[in-house]
Chains A and B, each alone.
Chain A
Amino acid sequence: MPQPRQVRGTALNNFPSAPDKDDIDKTWDYLKSGIDRIHDNLQDGMDLKTYMGIYTAIHNFCTSQKAVGISSPATISSGAHRGAHLLGEDIYKKLIEYLTNSLEEHVKASESHQDEALLSYYIKEWNRYTIAAKYVHHLFRYLNRHWVKREMDEGKKHIYDVYTLHLVEWRAVLFNKVHEKVMGAVLKLVERQRQGETIEYSQIKSVVESFVSLGLDDQDSTKTTLEVYRYYFEKPFLEATKKFYTDESKQFVAENSVVEYMKKAEARLNEEEERVKMYLHPDIAVQLKKTCNQALIADHSDLLRDEFQVLLDNDREEDMARMYSLLSRIPDGLEPLRSKFEAHVRKAGLAAVTKVAADAEKLEPKVYVDALLEIHTQYQGLVKRAFNDEPEFTRSLDNACREFVNRNDVCKAGSSKSPELLAKYTDVLLRKSGTGIEEAELENTLTQIMTVFKYIEDKDVFQKFYSRMLARRLVHSTSSSDDAETSMISKLKEACGFEYTNKLQRMFQDMQISKDLNDGFKEHTQSLDSKVLDSQYSILGTGFWPLNPPTTTFNPPAEVAADCERFARFYKNKHDGRKLSWLWQLCKGEVKATYLRSMKSAVIFQVSAYQMAILLLFNEKDSHTYDDIASITALNSDALDPSLGILLKAKVLKSEGDKVGPGAVFNLNYEFKSKKLRVNLNVGMKSETKQEEVETNKTIEEDRKLLLQSAIVRIMKARKQMKHQQLVSECINQIRARFVPKVSDIKKCIEILLDKEYLERLDDDNLGYLA
C-alpha cells in the first residue's frame, strides 16, 4: 500500500477537527472532506495530521458503542462487539454511496468525448481513480482489518476491501455504461493501424490493463480473472479482426495473384503477432492467431492448393515454402499438398526414366541410376528447403520414389530390372577402370547408390547380381579398391542386416585366406627341386560363391596339371577331408611366345586356361586338326569353338577360311604381329554375359519360392496353427525386406507344403503345422 506523502505548505491546515465519534453523519462528513481531497486533489497531497485524523475518526467510530443515526434494531439485541460490526457497515455504505455518485458524474462527463479523446478521458480517470483508491484503502485500514475482514470471514457476499470496492463500483457504474464506446474507439484505432497509420497504441495498452484489472475473482478478491477482459475486450476485438481480414482478403484475392496474396497474408500474420507483443494481453495470442488463420488461410485454402501444382511445375521454391508455412498453420492444411507433391514427384521420375529409356536394351546403368537420383535429389532438396524437412513430406517423397524406381518404362517386364541396373552400376564403380574416380567421390557415389537401393523392392535381385559381379571382381582381381568394396558391403549390411551380406563377406574372407595359402604354397614349392609354375590359387567355399562348375570336360596341359596336383596335395595336408573341384572356366594365365619371326622380343599372351591348353599343343608341332585339339583337350565344342575363334581372330593361329569346326586345320602363325608386348586374348563373349543374366533371373524365381516356403514353415512352426489369411500377411511382413511377394505365390507355396504334408488344413480356414 502506498504511504501518503508528507506534504509541504499549508493547504491542509484548515482541515476540520475530529468529529463526534458516535455520530455517523458527522463522522462521514469529516471523512468525506478527506476522501474528496484524495480523489480530486491528490496532487496537493495530505499532511500526516489530517491523515491521522481521518484514520482515528474511523477507528473511533467503529469502536464507539453508543452509535446514533441509522443503526438498525439489531444493534440493541447484539452484544458489545457486534456493535462495532454494524458501525463499520454504516461507513462502508456511505463509501459506496459516495463512489456511486462520483462515478455517475464521470459517466456524464464522458459523454462529451469521442474516439481517442474518450480513450484519453477514460484512461485519465481510471488512473486517477485507482491511485485514489489505493490511498483511500490505506486510510480505511482499520475498517478493512476489522469490520470487512469479519464480514468476509463470516462468508458475507459482496463485501470487499476498500480498494476492491472501488473497482467493483467502477465496473458497476462507469464501466457498464462506457465499455462499448471505449471498445469502439479502440477498434477504430486498431483498424487505422491495420490500414497503415501510426497510432498512439499506449492508450490501447492502458485500456487492456484497466479491463484486466476489473476481472475480480468472486472467491478471492485479491486475485483477478480474465473474464471481464475476455468478454468485453477479446470478443469484440476478435470479431472485428475476423471481419477486417475476411473483407480485406476477399478483395485482395479478387485483384491479385495467389502468390501476391500469400505474401500479403504472411505479412498480415506477422503483423498481428507483433501487435500482441506491442500492446495486447498475451492471453489473446492463441485466439487471435486462430482467427487470422481462419480468415486469411483456411477461407482461401482451396485457392492456395489449386496454385500448388503451378508452383511445382514452375519450381517456385520460395512461394512453395510460403504456401507450406501458411497451410501448416491450419488443421489438415497440408495433406492435399502432400498427395499432389507425391503424384508430381512420381510423374517427374517416370518422365525422367522414359527420357533415358528410349533404347532399354542399350541403357547404360549409370545413365539410368543418374536419372533416378537426379529426381530424388531435386525433390529431397525441395522438401528440405520449402517444406521444413517435414517427416510427412519425406514420406510422400519416399512413396513417390519407390513407385518410379520399381515401376517405370525400364521395368516394364518386371521390377527386377531396377536392382539389376543398380548392381551393374555399382560394379562399374568398383571395377578397375580408366575413369580414375577419386576415392572420396567414389564413396559419395556409393552413398547415392544406397539412396536408390533403399527404394528397391526386389532387394534379393540386387543381391544376386551384386554377388555375381563381386565374385567376378574378386576372381579376376579387377576390384579397384578393397576399401571401397568393404565400405559398400558394410552399407548393405547396415541397410539389410547380417544375413543379406553374409555370403559377400565370406567371399571376401576366402580371398584373404587364399592369399595366405598361396604364400605357404610358394614356400613349400621353393623347397622342392623341380621346376615350378608361377601359380596362384583361390579357394572358394562352395556355398558362398555364386559360381557353377564348368560345363565341359577338360584335360589341362601337363605342366598345369602337375602344379595343380602339387597344390592339391599341399592343401589336403592342411585341410584333410575337403574336396577341391576346379573351375577351369575361370582360370587364366600367361604364355610367352618366343617363336615370332617378325617381333624383336617375346610377346606375352594373356589367355584362358582353355586357350592355354590349345596353344601349348603347338609346342609339339605347327599344325593340328580340330578333332585332334578336341580330343586332347577334351573340351566340348561350346567351350572349344569360341576359344579357337579368338585365337583365329587375333591371328595367333590360322586356318583355311578362318573356319572353326570338325575338319578344320589350325596352323601356328609365325608372322603374328602386335604393337603391344602383352596381348589379351582372354576376352569374354557378349553372349556369355547375356546368358548369365537369364540364369540369374531364373535362380531368383526359384530362390523366392524357397524363401517363401521357409518363411511359411518358420511361422507355422512357431504358431502351430494359424488362419490362412493371417499366415499370408505375416509371410508378406517377413519377406518384404527382400522382395514384395504376390499373394498368389504365397498360396502356391502353401499348397506345395500341404502336398508335402508339412501343413494340414483344419476347420474354418485354419492351417496346422505337421512336425
Chain B
Amino acid sequence: KIRTRDATGFFEANGYAPPQPSVASRGNDIKLEQMFDGLRDPEEDSKDEIGTQSVMNYLTSLDVDLESCEQFIVLEIVQAPALGIVKKNGFVEGWKATGVSPSVTAQKTYIKERKAALSRDISYFRKVYRAAFVAGKEENQKALALEVALIFWDMLFSPPGMVWKSHNVNWLAEWKNFLAEKWTRSVNRDMWNQTLEFAIKTLSDGTLSFWSEDGAWPGVIDDFVAWWKAKQEKGGAMETD
C-alpha cells in the first residue's frame, strides 16, 4: 500500500482533513503563487517545487532558527513532503488555509505566534510533531532513520517545543540512553507517534503508573519502561547504601 504523495495524502496520513478551498479571493492565490515563484531559483528548482537551498533561504527570511523545531512549523503549514522540498501546491493551499495575508512580514508574525503556541497547545504540537516525521523520512522509505529521529526529538522536545523533562527526570536524555543501548532499527510511524503520546503521559505521571503490561503501547515503549524501572531499582539500591 503506497500512499500518494500529494497534499491530500499528507493530511490523511497525519490524521486530519485537508483544508477546504477557502472562499477568499482568487487574488490571494495569485499573490501566494507569485511569492512562491519569487522563492524559486530558476537554475536549480523546477517549476512547481523548490529545493534545499531555496527552502533554507525562505526559512531564513522568516527568521526561523534552523537549529530548532521552528522550521517544522513552516513545514507543517506548507505540507513539506521532505526536509528540503516545498511544492507550489502545498505552499499556496497551506498558507491560504491559515488566512494569513500573503507577505513575508505577515508570515513572520504568524510563525512567531505559532512558535509560542507549541509549548502550550498539545494538539497543535502533535500536528507539528507528526509533520516532522513526514518531512524527515526518505521519500521511498516508510520509516525515519534512527539518527534523523534522534536529532528531531532533540529539536522537538526542547524549547520552543515541548520540553520532555520533569523536575527530577530528564526523560528525553533517558529515552536517548535507552535507544543507544537497546535500539538499532529505524523509527516507524507508530513508534514516532507513540513516543509523543508516551512523553505527554510521563509529564503528568512521572511514576509511569499509567503504563501497564497489557496496555497498547508498542513493544519499544514496553522495553523502555522495563529498562527504566530496572535502572530505578538499581539506583535505589545504591542510594540506600
Contacts and interface: CB of A to CB of B under 8 A. Distances in A.
Contacts of B216: 723-725, 761, 765, 767
B215 A761 contact: no
Interface stretch (B41-49, B83-91, B188-196, B231-239): B188-196
Given A754-B190, A755-B188, A765 B215 contact: yes
A744 B219 contact: yes
A617 B213 CA distance: 66
B3 to A, nearest CB: 8
A751 interface: yes
Contacts of B142: 755
State the main secondary structure of chain A at its contact with B. Answer: helix
A751 B215 contact: no
A70 to B, nearest CB: 91
B1 A756 contact: yes
B218 interface: yes
B214 interface: yes
B172 to A, nearest CB: 22
A725 B1 contact: no
B190 A751 contact: yes
Interface in A699-734: 723-725, 728
A751 B194 CA distance: 11
B214 A755 contact: no
B214 A725 contact: yes
Nearest to A723: B216
Contacts of A761: 190, 193-194, 216
Contacts, number: 36
Contacts of A751: 188, 190, 218-219
A179 interface: no
A724 B219 contact: no
B214 A757 contact: no
B195 to A, nearest CB: 13
A768 to B, nearest CB: 11
A751 B218 CA distance: 7
A732 to B, nearest CB: 12
B123 to A, nearest CB: 12
A725 B190 CA distance: 17
Contacts of B214: 725, 728, 743
Interface in B115-138: none
Interface in A741-765: 743-744, 747-748, 751, 754-757, 761, 765
Interface in A20-49: none
Nearest to B15: A760
Contacts of A767: 216
B215 A757 contact: no
A748 B185 CA distance: 14
Nearest to B214: A725
A752 to B, nearest CB: 10
Contacts of B193: 761
State the main secondary structure of chain B at its contact with A. Answer: loop
Interface in B52-89: none
B142, B143, B189, B190 interface centre (most CB from chain A within 10 Å): B190
Contacts of A723: 216
A755 B189 contact: yes
A748 B218 CA distance: 8
B131 to A, nearest CB: 18
A767 B142 CA distance: 20
* Interface bin, chain B: 10 to 19
Nearest to A767: B216
B212 to A, nearest CB: 9
B1, B188, B193, B214 interface centre (most CB from chain A within 10 Å): B214
A744, A755, A767 interface centre (most CB from chain B within 10 Å): A755
A724 B143 CA distance: 23
Nearest to B193: A761
A724 B142 CA distance: 23
A725, A744, A747 interface centre (most CB from chain B within 10 Å): A747
B98 to A, nearest CB: 27
B168 to A, nearest CB: 28
B166 to A, nearest CB: 24
Nearest to B216: A724
A755 B133 CA distance: 14
B215 A755 contact: no
A496 B139 CA distance: 47
B188 A747 contact: no
B1 A748 contact: no
A754 B215 CA distance: 16
A643 B75 CA distance: 66
A757 B1 contact: yes
A757 to B, nearest CB: 5
Nearest to B143: A755
Nearest to A727: B216
Contacts of A748: 219
Interface string B171-192: 0000000000000000011100
A724 B222 CA distance: 14
A385 to B, nearest CB: 44
Interface string B129-168: 0000000000000110000000000000000000000000
A743 B215 CA distance: 11
A537 B215 CA distance: 55
A747 B218 CA distance: 7
Contacts of B188: 751, 754-755
Contacts of B1: 756-757
A302 B51 CA distance: 85
Nearest to B218: A751
B181 to A, nearest CB: 19
A747 B219 contact: yes
A761 B218 CA distance: 11
Contacts of A724: 215-216
Contacts of B219: 744, 747-748, 751
Interface string B201-238: 00000000000011110110010000000000000000
B89 to A, nearest CB: 24
Nearest to A758: B1
A743 B219 CA distance: 10
Contacts of B222: 744, 747
Interface in B1-25: 1
Nearest to B189: A755
Interface string A572-614: 0000000000000000000000000000000000000000000
A724 B219 CA distance: 13
Nearest to A766: B216
A767 B143 CA distance: 20
A767 B190 CA distance: 12
A438 B190 CA distance: 61
Contacts of A725: 214-216
A677 B106 CA distance: 101
B4 to A, nearest CB: 13
A756 B2 CA distance: 10
B225 to A, nearest CB: 13
A5 B215 CA distance: 94
A754 to B, nearest CB: 5
Nearest to B191: A751
B11 to A, nearest CB: 15
A487 B231 CA distance: 57
Nearest to B223: A744
A747 B223 CA distance: 12
25 contacts: A724-B215, A724-B216, A743-B213, A744-B219, A744-B222, A747-B219, A747-B222, A748-B219, A751-B188, A751-B218, A754-B188, A754-B189, A754-B190, A755-B142, A755-B143, A755-B188, A755-B189, A755-B190, A756-B1, A757-B1, A761-B190, A761-B193, A761-B216, A765-B216, A767-B216
Interface of B: 1, 142-143, 188-190, 193-194, 213-216, 218-219, 222
Given A755-B142, A756-B1, A765-B215, 18 more contacts: A723-B216, A724-B215, A724-B216, A725-B214, A725-B216, A728-B214, A744-B219, A747-B219, A747-B222, A751-B218, A751-B219, A754-B190, A755-B143, A757-B1, A761-B193, A761-B194, A761-B216, A765-B216
Q: Which 3 A-B pairs have the closest CB atoms?
A: A724-B216, A765-B216, A754-B190
